[in-house]
Structure formats: C-alpha cells, structure tokens
Amino acid sequence: MSTAYAPATSPIATLVDRTMDLGALAPISLDDLVTSASRLTRVDRKYVVPRRLLPTLLQATAGRAKVLDIDGVRDFAYRTVYLDTLDVQCFRAAGQKRRRRAKIRTRSYLDSGATFLEVKTRGPRGTTVKERIEHPDVEEAGLTAAGAAFIADRLAAAQIDTLDVASLVPMLSTTYHRSTLALGPDRVTIDTVPGWTALGPARGDLDRPGLAIVETKAGATPTLVDHALWRLGHRPIRISKYGSGLAAVRPDLPHLKWHRVINQHLRPHSSATIHEGHQS
C-alpha cells in the first residue's frame, strides 16, 4: 500500500538539494524498490565522505541508478530516538561485539508523520533481525505498555535476558535526510546533514552538515558506488548512528570499535560543532 508524503519543510532539505541533482535520475516506486532490491544475503559497506563528493558519485551511476520517489519526494527526513539503560548496556554490547545484543529505537518518518518502535537483534549465523510496530516518538510520549511488551517479547526470542525493559530510557536522538538508489538488485542509501543529541545524564549536541554517510547493500560484487568511492580514496569504515554518535557526543564514554570514525570524521579537531553540558 502506498503512503502519501508531503514535501519536506525542514531547512536541512535545501542542503540536500544543493548537493545532489536527484531530479536527473529515473524514479523507482517503493513497491518496485522492495521487489527489485531485496537481496536475502548481502554485504553492507558504510562510508563517511564529504558531502561535496555526492555529485561525483551520482555521475558514476549515470544511466544505471534509479532513485526512490514517493509522490515527487526523493529525499526524506528521519528522526530516530534510541533507548538504552543509564549504564548504556546496549551501547557497550555493540561496541564490544557481544553476540547477544539489541538496538532499540523509535524511528519517525517526518515527511509522512509515521513512527515505529524497532528492535534489532542478532539472529542465526550473525544475521540481523529487525522487527517493528507502530508507536509514538518515545522521547515525546514515553514507552507505552504495548511497546514495552513488544520489546520484552523480542528480547526473549533473541535469548537476551540481561536487559531490563523497565530500565530503558531515551539516550540519543539523531536527525538526517536519506535518499535511496536502486542499482539492479543492489541498494545504496545516502544520508546527509546528520545531527546527534544526547538525551541521558550527560547532554550534548553534535552537527556535521558537511558529511554524508553512504551505505551500499550488495552481493559479493561491489557496486558502482563502491568502485567510485575507492577511486576517490575512501574505504569502508565502522560507523553506527547510535554507537559512534553517542560516543562522539559524550566524552565520558569510551570510543570502543568506533574510534577511527570518531577521530577522523565526527570529532576532528576544530571541524565539528559540539556543545557539551550536563543535565540539570
């Protein structure tokens, strides 16, 4: 079922429009994207690049890529709120690569007004299992009884018994714009104007409008975008909007496996705009 979207009114939309000429690409509907770019087994590669390189990446896909288009909208605004315990059990489990771990969040699609509660866990042989239900933004409305029951059920199914659902609180919010490209059965997402806000005991904001996070989802053969990035000197890097974002915005936390992306991209010496403080 298609969903009607209104054009984004966020001021960050203009930054996206000035960087990428998405209008030059052929459109693909959401239904066709799901059908054509739905690999069951895939290799995900993530890159952090200057936003000014995006036109070059699009040129590399000329005549090959289609862009997700929903009612004329081609870049979509997202807001995500991550839940964790005050001692950041989810953050540490991810950063220490524990086999049994979970990521819990509400994701809001700002153009449509839809919000979902999502639980991501690790399935057999290291696969990722993501399940979701409709739920309001957890920072604005809190966790509902139905939401808590859903989280508890999904954690039990993943055999995660160390996480107390009652202790979960909003810990970090992120905002960004996303455009999605289809390259045959492969998919590429381009996230621009990322921003992070710590919501837990230590407050802080981090904005990196000059960055883009590019993720390719392909089979064993890299995509045209991968090859273009390699030619430009960029290699895949570990980045998690929650893990690396929280560590970057909260100096009291260890960088864990995200030290490279934090030091090179999120908090280079004089580039990031960050305001740190403590909750009163």
For 116, residues 6+ apart whose C-beta sits below 8 A from its C-beta are: 106, 107, 132, 133, 134, 135
Residue 22: per-residue pLDDT: 87
For 280, residues 6+ apart whose C-beta sits below 8 A from its C-beta are: none
Residue 203: per-residue pLDDT: 85
Residue 42: per-residue pLDDT: 75
- Which of these, 227, 219, 278, 231, lies nearest to 252 by C-alpha position? 278
Cβ–Cβ < 8 Å for 253, 201 = no
**Residue ranges per structural domain of the chain:** 12-278
CA triple 33-132-215, angle to 5 deg: 45
Kindly report the CATH class assigned to 12-278.
mainly beta
Tokens of 146: 């139905």
Residue 15: per-residue pLDDT: 38
Averaged over successive runs of 10 residues, the pLDDT of the chain (280 residues) comes to 35 41 90 77 88 91 91 95 97 91 96 96 75 96 97 95 95 97 93 95 91 92 93 95 96 95 82 40
The values of phi and psi at residue 258, to 5°, are -100, 15
The values of phi and psi at residue 30, to 5°, are -60, -45
Residue 126: per-residue pLDDT: 63
- Distance from C-alpha of 54 to C-alpha of 176, rounded to nearest angstrom: 15
Eight-state DSSP code of residue 112:
T
Residue 12: per-residue pLDDT: 35
